[in-house]
Amino acid sequence: MTTQATTHFLAGVIEGFYGPPWTQAERFELFDWMAQWGLNTYFYAPKDDLKQRAIWRELYSAAEAEALGQLIQACQQRHLRFIYALSPGLDIRYSNPAELEHLQQRFEQILALGCQNFSLLFDDLPDRMDPADRQRWGSFAAAQCHVVNALFRWTRERCPAARFLFCPTPYCGRMAEAKLGGEGYLATVGRELLPEIDVFWTGPEIISREITVAHIQELQTVLRRKPLIWDNLHANDYDGRRFFCGPYSGRASELRSAVSGLLLNPNTEFPLNFVAVHTLAEFVRNPGTWDARQAYLAAMREWLSYFATSGPPLALEDLILLGDCYYLPYEDGAEAKALFERARDLLSRNPATWGDDAATIRRQLARLREFCFRLTELQHRPLFYALNRRVWELREELDLLERYIAFKSAPGNQNADYHPDSHLPGTYRGGMVSRLQRLLAPQSDGTITPALSRESFPIAREPKI
């Protein structure tokens, strides 16, 4: 078994999303997964723990501290490294000595609970600096390095083996190129931050499709250390309509030797993270070339046991197709992609030419729709609740598409208008968000363009007299 005493490489899970934090029971289940699969690190940083970020100066109550102590103890029992993170950047005054005292008091409280590893996060901050701080330090980077170094030394005096992590304000390539945090931010961090402190990085983007060794090697020369990957590949807190249960992907096997660790910040809904965490663990342990798709299929076979129902068993091939519909941010899985392309190609043709193709695609759509419906029978109710709102939307789209194809396939309907009786204007794909989404259309090159012409928005005029 891998233990924190036998490895320096951090491999595990970040609870660092925006949204309801996981429950204690969910965290304990995560720890069991991690211990079983060979991961070694749990990073506590839920942004909606108010005392982790919004009111970071306020100490935890006795009940809150007890709950954190239970997590720390549970990690220790499973030989997992528990890292506590604090995010003071929203309103910290770097030049005020009292602020460092607040940080020390919080870390003192967490040290007393048995925690030995810590982090300070300065991500997602307003890009403005207090005048007194600017006068003393000159830049965000210098001010943050001063505070982090001071707290690191203070922590090491009390816990010599403490691992200490830092998240910079520009934490991806695009942010650095835009000079978020100021000119020369990362160079200042590389020069002034103590070398024992790990630095987080998410890759070229906040959610990076790929993280290459060349990209990391270039960053190493600036940071003067191996970066620690905060991986948002499976994060979904930015899009409430989606989740991601595809494999850990877009990272070459050689990346493992170029970084100090790989920590995954996954879906907000804990029950949806089985495949993401499982395939990360396989990636870390895999000695050779990484086959993400095969790892996904193997993990889905194991995840199927969570889909026991009150009726007949669900089929693995249907679960794989559902998972392919919610694969990764930048791609659908192979089966979902094929289904979409068949439907798109059919609709691009004259209905008079559809023939047997229409019946074939209708059967495929109906089967997936039925699988989505049967999720209501899941015995694992938290899993059903996590899936329900998103999969319900998929069911509606499958139903509309199948009914449309059936209507157009009927004799005499090829040129007729279809008026569905269950998808009415204003009740389906309605609301302000839906209307706003129709105003601007993302293009394949990353640009955003108006989706509708001015003629699509009739201007109300005064009646003529």
Is residue 177 within 8 A of residue 124, CB to CB? The reply is no
d(CA 349, CA 357): 11
Is residue 84 within 8 A of residue 115, CB to CB? The reply is yes
> What φ, ψ does residue 10 adopt, rounded to 5°?
-90, 125
Q: Where are the alpha helices (DSSP H) in 138-269?
A: 140-158, 173-177, 185-192, 213-223
Residue partners of 399: CB distance under 8 A and separation at least 6: 369, 422
Q: Determine which helix (DSSP H) or strand (DSSP E) holds 435, and give its type and residue range.
A: helix 432-437
124 is catalytic: yes
CB atoms within 10 A of CB 266: 29
Residue partners of 55: CB distance under 8 A and separation at least 6: none
User: Phi/psi zone of residue 81: left (φ > 0), alpha (ψ -120 to 50 degrees), beta?
Assistant: beta
d(CA 12, CA 55): 27
What is the C-alpha radius of gyration for the chain, rounded to an integer number of angstroms?
A: 26
Q: Where are the alpha helices (DSSP H) in 193-273?
A: 213-223
Count H helices, E strands: the chain?
15, 10
CA pseudo-torsion sign 151, 153, 154, 159 = positive
Three-state DSSP at 405 gives helix
Mode of pairing for the β-strands spanning 81-86 and 117-121? parallel
Is residue 366 within 8 A of residue 402, CB to CB? The reply is yes
In 3D space, the residue among 396, 386, 398, 415 whose CA is nearest the CA of residue 26 turns out to be 386
Residue position matching structure tokens 């068993």: 313
Q: Determine which helix (DSSP H) or strand (DSSP E) holds 36, and give its type and residue range.
A: helix 24-37
Give the total residue count for the chain: 465
**Residue in 124, 237, 332, 357 annotated catalytic:** 124
| Catalytic site positions | 124
